[in-house]
Amino acid sequence: MLLRWSAMLGQYQEGVMKRNNLNHSIVIIAVFVWIGFVCSISFMEAWLKFRPMNVTLPIGLSIGRLIFDALNKMEWIFAFIIIAHILLSKNRTTLFHLIFLAIPIVLLILQTFLLLPALNERVEMILSGNEVSSSFLHFYYLTMELIKVVSLFVFGVFTFIYYENRVLLNNSLKSQSIN
């Protein structure tokens, strides 16, 4: 009877481990897809859209505004997925680890509520034919994107290592309890 209960407990723990591994996989996938979105749009699309001869400044700015608004929405979706899975997970991460998630979230808040509205206002002024003075807004945005990508990368690597070590530790404990 004791062996039967032990086997059932082992199957339950395996099921919990598989479910937790799935949660961690979703977090890791969301982090690296988020990085891919930011890199492909902020570091490639932003300047490539002005390269073709037929793309005028107003067309390029309109396309850019549309794409960066869409990127911002996708970033919020990735942030929500990551935060939800961390909060719903029974395995907690370290504070040091979470700092590298807080950095991109804070930058996303700044971009959403400060930088993007200011950049959109400049686009509107240019599209309406007004002269605009030079500004560092694009430089600030690009710097934030770079910091965001590095922070997300560190968070993703730490997440992978942290949960991989937890799986190894749980497997080690499980094999010791069998012996």
Task: Name the nearest CA neighbour of 35 among 159, 163, 161, 118.
Answer: 159
Please give the domain boundaries of the chain with CATH numbers for all domains: 2-178 (1.20.120)
Does the pLDDT value for residue 117 go beyond 50? Answer: yes
pLDDT for residue 5: 45
Residue burial 14-44, b: 16+ Cβ < 10 Å; e: rest: eeebeebeebbeebbebbbebbebbeebbee
pLDDT digits (tens, 9 = 90+) for 5-44: 444 444 444 544 455 556 578 999 999 999 999 999 999 9
pLDDT digits (tens, 9 = 90+) for 40-92: 999 999 888 888 889 998 999 999 999 999 999 999 999 999 999 888 877 66
